[in-house]
Copies of this chain bind each other. A is one copy, B any other.
């Protein structure tokens, strides 16, 4: 268990959830993977203006937390596919809620 998650257990279950999914790009990754596995490059483009360096780290953390599965196909050129684990799939409704709330928030507080 990652340290930040372990610390959250000392506070409240909601902090645990935030510790797992609260990082930048993480919930967007989950959102994109809901439609099926994606290769690293596909995921990079789908998520947005994220650098490979950063996306890799977020994926590693999601993997460590059991949310994402990383499948390496030993071939040239390399092929690595990311997918949601069963646990990751349980985040589906949460992603939808966050997506809807964020959209509502933008509707009532427009970007200036």
**A residues apposed to B, CB below 8 Å:** 1, 6, 8-18, 20-28, 31, 47-49, 66, 87, 90-91, 93-95, 97-106, 108-109, 111-112
Contacts and interface: CB of A to CB of B under 8 A. Distances in A.
Contact of A13 (B6, B17, B87, B102): B102
B24 A105 contact: no
B13 A106 contact: yes
Closest 6 CB pairs of A and B: A13-B102, A16-B102, A17-B102, A17-B98, A22-B22, A13-B103
| Contact residues of A: prevailing secondary structure | helix
B106 A12 contact: no
A87 B90 CA distance: 26
